[in-house]
Structure 1
Amino acid sequence: MISGGPLMSVEQVNGLDYEDFIRVFGNVIENYPLAATFLWYYRPYRDVNQMHDYISTLARRHLPIEDKKGILRLLPDLAGRLAEAGNLSAESTYEQRTAGLTLLTPNEKQRIRSLNKRYWDRFGFPFVVCAR
């Protein structure tokens, strides 16, 4: 039921104690567990759409721009060192695998690393793409 198990009903989600809620939703915004605390505070939820609306509202409206940039800085590079070492979150591993980033040739990996660095140097956070 918790993390990796079957889907949960909204009633089950609303019934989770704080520790279980954080374990299940702690990575709703990758590497930013405070987002799960925000979600916990606004329980109970009518449905998954309402949960999505709350997390979207947090990201869009309630965080100052520097916090938003900070969240972006927490995201992994595409086909970067974390991926190569097997240290991505389950979500990022899945996204990068389905985008074909685990099938790159050595030359393609080097090219992506070079582009990642250029992007970091220019903007101060990694290039982010929804790879689902």
Structure 2
Amino acid sequence: MTRLTVEDLNQADKERFVDAVGDVYEESPWVAKRTWSEQPFSSIDGLQQAMANTVQDASQQKQLELLRAHPDLGERTEMTDESQEEQASAGLDRLPPAQYETFQTLNDTYRDKFGFPFIMAVKDESVGTIQQAMEDRIDHSRSKEFQTALNEVNVIAALRLEELTVPRDGTQEQHA
């Protein structure tokens, strides 16, 4: 697949725009739908900022739905291709049984406390770094963690958008 340019996205009708970038936010095409009306975007970074603003301006309930759309880290369940790739890049798909159990316990504790899954941009992070972040963030207040999780969602979205679009240097890499 040829990567998209900001010009491609600026010229896209709503349906094509949502089809192109609707998966940037996990199971939440509403972000792209609401952001489409902000065209034209000056750059891909501008598009990402507009999408982040859409999330920030959404109701707390809509934000919570966005957070809850994310899978637990290390979970061996069905998830989007993007989440599978991101978790695999961090080795979360290959946890030994004891560490898998640790992650499940941390996930359960976190979800019970905050009402949404632990979210972290894990692409190319180490399992140890992720586990430490989980342990540290469990001590946050709900309001602090809610904002931290939203920030992480925006980082994940930016990384996903980067995969879909022409790099800053303008080269057109081909994706399988």
TM-score range with shorter-chain normalisation?
0.7 to 0.9
Within the candidate set 69, 73, 79, 2:74 is matched to: 79
Within the candidate set 98, 109, 117, 1:107 is matched to: 98
Aligned residue-pair number: 123
Higher relative contact order (CA 8 A, sep 6+): 2
Q: Distance in 2 between matches of 1:57 and 1:18?
A: 18
Q: Distance in 1 between matches of 2:83 and 2:12?
A: 25
Gaps of 5+ in 1: none
Q: Distance in 2 between matches of 1:122 and 1:109?
A: 20
Within the candidate set 14, 20, 31, 1:18 is matched to: 14
Paired residues of 2:67 and 2:116 also in contact (CA < 8 A): yes
Q: Distance in 2 between matches of 1:19 and 1:56?
A: 20
Q: TM-score, normalised by structure 2?
A: 0.65
Q: TM-score, normalised by structure 1?
A: 0.84
TM-superposed CA distance for 1:96, in Å, is 0.4
The match for 2:120 is: 129
Q: Classify the secondary structure of the residue corresponding to 1:91.
A: helix
The match for 1:57 is: 53
The match for 1:27 is: 23
Deviations 1:73-107 (A, max 9, x none): 11110011xxx24x221221121011110121122
Letter in 2 for 1:105: P
Paired residues of 2:35 and 2:54 also in contact (CA < 8 A): no
Letter in 2 for 1:120: R
The match for 1:40 is: 36
Q: Distance in 1 between matches of 2:105 and 2:3?
A: 39
Quote the RMSD (CA, aligned, Å): 1.5
Letter in 2 for 1:66: Q
The match for 1:92 is: 83
Structure 1 range deviating more: 89-98 or 12-21 = 12-21
Letter in 2 for 1:114: T
TM-superposed CA distance for 1:20, in Å, is 2.0
The match for 1:68 is: 63
Q: Which runs of 4+ in 1 moved over 3 A?
A: none
